[in-house]
Structure 1
Amino acid sequence: MSRRVVKWCAALGIALLSGQADAQGPGQVVDEVVVRGPEKTLPETVRSFSRIDTGDEITFEELDKVERRLVATGLFQEVKVSLEPTAPNRVRLILEVEDKASWVVAPTFALSSDNIGGGLLYAENNLWGRAKKFATAAQVSTAESGIFAGYLDPNLFGLPQLRFSLEGQLRSDRMDEYQPGAGQEDPVVVRRTRLNSASISSELGVMLFERVRAAVKYRLMSIDAKSPDPEKEVTTPAFSIGPSQRDTSLRLMVGIDTRQNLHAVMEGLNLEASYEVSNPGVWSDFRYRRFGLLYRHGLRLFEEHNLVLRGEAAAGVDLPFHQELVMGGNGLRGFVHRQFRGDTRLSFTAEYHFPLFTIRSLSFRGVGFSDTGLMAWRELPSDGELRDVNGRVVRGYLPDSQSGLKGATLAQGLGAGLRLYLRNLVLPLVGVDAAYGVNSGEFRFYLVAGVSPT
């Protein structure tokens, strides 16, 4: 008999004892909320995530929702929610949880076409027993190196409806630009630019009715470009060389988000619209805008199978080189890391996850996937240069760049992979994928081991 059936039978028994049973399951008044089992998580933290308090009315249907809320926090490897009668039509709510190990020191790895490297990460998932999260990491790779530190409070002021984050980064990026076209077996780098940056950002979000989410994010960045690699075909700068520039932006987001990560399965729907602006009014040396629409959907099938869909439409106006949209690598498997660039992007990914076998708390899961992306420039300047408010060149386009559908790139990758999950630890997901680029006919492999703190 499943846990859900047991839970409903127990609840029905309580209702019969109280003389209040009906076809839908009556509401029982909660006299007390009791937390049992956690070694680190504070009882008030568990209660806050349950969203049930003394004096509230609870129905049979609500029991399953409470359990799902607690599992979705990622703090507990086991959760059991039950009721005990205290008087006619009155109950005690019992929340029994078993903590996961909340911290981890782990290596990080990145292996994809044109981006190989690794580093070390420390992450704490349950600071002070209050579900606050902190992570710091250092990584060196061929395309992206740097230091990261971030703090996330998903339960601000003890309210699960409020979410606050603060993060900072020091980065050095090798920005490669390739010959156009998705059919190349071995894409040729025509310009290579080194970009160094330092940034700090903060986001405040609010969740209403457990489904409507709104957030505002402010980011401050200092960006500095180095001279292009003289050994590549194009040596004119993609970004003006000189003093570092300040890139500040304000991002607004609103959407519906009912997603819950229930151990290795993601369920729920996310529809999101965003608008980002950078101009002197928000203390920036740049002037650009970016619009986005995002769709994510997780469907549970056959209990432990998971169909995950993701679609995105993004468009930028006057994007500088370091803020352009990119595709390729882990975002478009089957192609080189950041192989395609543009100011307009459409993408769609479908993944089917399924269980293979489990060894104690370690689960092995397979995945089949399809990644599709369309990238284009809507309209390029006639002289091939985009300038900022001070007249500096913030984007020098490649000589053969074309705008509109004529210059658009449509690419697709198909493949399969393996995922590992450890139920009793806050451990990073380990994944390996093999992808076939339909356009190029090439196979490429991708390995990710580590946590992305953002």
Structure 2
Amino acid sequence: MSGRVVKWCAMLGLALGAGQAGAQEPGQVVDEVVVRGPEKTRPETVQAYSRIDAGDELAFEELDKVERRLLATGLFQEVKVSTEPTGAGRVRLILEVEEKASWVVAPTFALSSDNVGGGLLYAENNLWGRSKKFATAAQVSTAESGLFVGYLDQNVFGLPQLRFSLEGQLRSDRMDEYRPGAGQEDPEVVRRTRLNSASLAGEFGVMLFERVRAAVKYRLMSIDAKSPDAKEEVTTPAFSTGPAQQDASVRLMVGIDTRQNLHAVMEGINLEASYEVSNPEVGSDFRYRRFGLLYRHGLRLFEEHNVVLRGEAAAGVDLPFHQELVMGGNSLRGFVHRQFRGDTRLSFTAEYHFPLFTIRQLSFRGVGFSDTGLMVWRDLPADGELRDVNGRVVRGYLPDSKSGLKGSTFAQGVGAGLRLYLRNIVLPLVGVDAAYGVNSGEFRFYLVAGVSPS
């Protein structure tokens, strides 16, 4: 009996030793990387996104990671990653991809309470075959109209770790202020102001270890306010009229971002903190600060089901009218577009996405959601006016505005919607939502197709 025990123990020791040796065995060395299939995307761009070069060690379990990296670029509808032996402990890495159509011309639509309109969008997702992105859009709607031009390089100098963007906007916004309270069935507009603006912004970011992201953004804006609509109850200006003013700011951001969009499913987590400052030292006529914390999380369930969570905490100090925090519409479904305003905002959204059916390349997905928000004025000036560094009024608050928790607004909306995705083309998301405002007891509908200048 004792001999058998010794024998079994010896065999068990050998098995464990073999398992540990296998776990510690180094990966195979990549002799070369071969790219097959792309018609437009340059092979070096595909290889750069794989993050694998000749001479690297490659373990078998990394093949799936490489495939996910390529799918997450949004450039390809199909990706296959494999190896071929080239010698003892050496392989050839093969990246086979099937591209999406890289450009689109499409109409855009916006339909929500107090904001109806549409326009035209042109977007190129793969400039010069190097995954650079360019988009331009024109939109006319009841609340916000304008022109937008944007360029995004998420592969600077062939390095996916570096990211640069540049965007410009011309906008005309109808800024409505409503009587306080989330329980109104038909919210009453008490002041209506037209704001015209032109802006240019550039951002440079870096991604470290495929998860740590930092960025700096500089924005320059010219802002011009018109006199309030004389038909509304309050006609004192929310923002001084006269010569256009210059608003410039620097925004710093750092965070963890492991998100990947794999066709219609988003996976991973994003945690980030931001700080924005505007003052004469950066070229601004204003002086304000803004702090933010953001949480986003995507969870895949049952292969094609997706739980998407989003939470945000934002606070501003001496925010002028055009930089105030807002909620309502697509940012808080169940309520009017930009119905609530303040300098401090807490919000949380939970969505459950699930597949319905697919017709060839067109996928129909359902979504159930809950939007919750809290908006507060922390400390309003005693005279109801906020002035810039030159003494000019940059915010005239409504007479019945209250600060602190007594004047806060808590609102919640729940509902369901439909999403459409095209697998083989770079096409903006099309969605329709029906939302019930828990506070007001009202149903509201939202349609979004494409992107808007906002």
* TM-score, normalized by the shorter chain, greater than 0.5: yes
**Residue 287 in 1 paired to residue 300 in 2?**
no
Q: Indicate the structure (1 or 2) with the bigger Cα radius of gyration.
A: 2
Give 1:57's aligned residue.
Answer: 57
Looking at structure 1, the residues matched to 155 and 366 of structure 2 have their Cα atoms a distance apart, in angstroms, of 33
Which amino acid letter does the alignment assign opposite residue 190 of structure 1? V
* Distance change (3 Å), C-alpha of 1:25 and 1:60: farther
Structure 2 distance, partners of 1:385, 1:100, is 53
The aligned amino acid for 2:286 is F
Following the alignment from structure 1 to structure 2, what is the Cα–Cα distance between the partners of residues 312 and 52?
36
Q: Offset at 1:24?
A: 6.7
- 1:341 — aligned with what? 341
Amino acid at match of 2:299: L
How far is 1:23 from its partner? Answer: 4.6
Separation (CA, whole Å) in 1 of partners of 2:183 and 2:50: 52
Amino acid at match of 1:111: L
Helix, strand or coil for the counterpart of 2:381?
A: coil
Of all paired residues, the percent bearing the same amino acid is 88
Deviation string 1:326-367 (CA, Å, 9 cap, x unpaired) is 000000000000000000000000000000000111000000
- Within 5 Å, which residues of 2 pair with 1:42-441? 42-441=42-441
Structure 1 counterpart SS, 2:61: helix
> What is the rounded CA distance, in whole Å, between the counterparts of 1:452 and 1:228 in structure 2?
25
Contact 2:146 2:453 in 1 (8 A): no
Task: Tell me how far apart the structure 2 counterparts of residues 180 and 289 of structure 1 sit (CA, whole Å).
Answer: 25
**Is 1:150–1:453's contact at 8 Å kept on the other side of the alignment?**
no
User: Aligned-pair distance for 1:48?
Assistant: 0.3
Contact 2:169 2:453 in 1 (8 A): no
Alpha-carbon separation, structure 2, partners of 1:241 and 1:61? 63
Letter in 1 for 2:291: F
Residue equivalent to 1:8: none
Deviations 1:161-181 (A, max 9, x none): 000000000000000000000
Contact 2:121 2:451 in 1 (8 A): yes
- Give deviations 1:181-219, integer Å, cap 9, x for gaps: 000000000000000000000000000000000000000
Q: One-letter code of the match for 1:229?
A: D
Q: Secondary structure of 2:383's partner?
A: coil
SS at match of 2:68: helix
Letter in structure 1 aligned against 2:73: T
1:215 aligned partner, one-letter code: A
Q: 1:77 to 1:24 in 2, by over 3 A?
A: farther
Measured at CA, do residues 452 and 232 of structure 1 come closer, stay the same or move farther in structure 2, by a change above 3 Å? closer
Q: Distance in 2 between matches of 1:168 and 1:273?
A: 24
In 1, the alpha carbon distance for the partners of 2:351 and 2:415 equals: 10
Residue by residue over 1:400-424, the C-alpha shift from the partner in whole angstroms, topping out at 9 and shown as x without a partner, is 0000000000000000000000000
Partner of 1:7: none
Q: Deviations over 1:136-162 (max 9, x none)?
A: 000000000000000000000000000
Answering whether residue 32 of structure 2 is matched by residue 35 of structure 1, we say: no
Supply the RMSD in Å over aligned alpha carbons: 1.2
1:449 counterpart letter in structure 2: A
CA-CA distance at 1:451 after TM superposition: 2.9
Q: Shift of the alpha carbon at 1:60?
A: 1.1
- How far, CA to CA, are the matches of 2:22 and 2:402 in structure 1? 68
SS in 2 for 1:372: strand
Give the aligned residue type for 1:169: Q
Q: Write the letter of the residue equivalent to 1:324.
A: E
CA contact (8 A) 2:145 2:453 kept: no
Post-superposition CA distance 1:294-340 (Å, at most 9, x none): 00000000000000000000000000000000000000000000000
1:448 to 2:448 alignment:
yes
**For 1:22, what is the secondary structure of its paired residue?**
helix
Residues 326, 340 of structure 2: 8 Å contact kept: yes
Contact 2:137 2:452 in 1 (8 A): no
* Preserved CA contact (<8 Å) 1:70 1:76: yes
Q: Partner amino acid for 1:356?
A: L
Report if aligned partners of 1:25, 1:60 keep a CA contact under 8 Å in 2.
Answer: no
How far is the alpha carbon of 1:84 from its aligned partner? 0.5
Q: Determine if contact 1:38/1:97 at 8 Å carries over to the other structure.
A: yes
The SS at the match of 1:60 is coil
Residue-by-residue CA offset, 1:115-154 (whole Å, 9 max, x unaligned): 0000000000000000000000000000000000000000
Equivalent residue for 2:18?
A: none
* SS of alignment partner, residue 421 of structure 2: strand
**Residue 453 of structure 1: how far off its partner (Å):** 7.6
Q: Which amino acid aligns with 1:130?
A: R
CA distance in 2, matches of 1:111, 1:452: 12
The 3 A distance-change label for structure 1 pair 84 and 453 is farther
Q: Distance in 2 between matches of 1:269 and 1:137?
A: 30
Unaligned 5+ residue runs, structure 2?
A: 1-20
TM-score, normalised by the number of residues in structure 1? 0.95
Distance 2:422 2:453 in 1: 18
Q: Is the 8 A contact 2:147 2:453 kept in 1?
A: no
Tell me how far 1:246 sits from its aligned partner. 0.1
Shift of residue 22 of structure 1?
Answer: 2.7
Contact 2:125 2:132 in 1 (8 A): yes
Distance 1:437 1:80 in 2: 46
The amino acid that maps onto 1:164 is F
- Where does residue 5 of structure 2 map in the other structure? none
3-state SS of paired residue (1:382): coil
Instruction: Number of aligned residue pairs: give it.
Output: 435
Which residues of structure 1 form unaligned runs of 5+? Answer: 1-20
- Matched residue of 2:22: which SS? coil
Question: CA deviation digits over 1:370-395, x for unaligned, max 9?
Answer: 00000000000000000000000000
Taking the aligned partners of 2:368 and 2:207, their CA distance within structure 1 comes to: 32
Once residues 34 and 134 of structure 2 are traced to their aligned partners in structure 1, the CA distance between those partners, rounded to angstroms, is: 28
How far apart, in 1, do the equivalents of 2:208 and 2:453 lie?
25
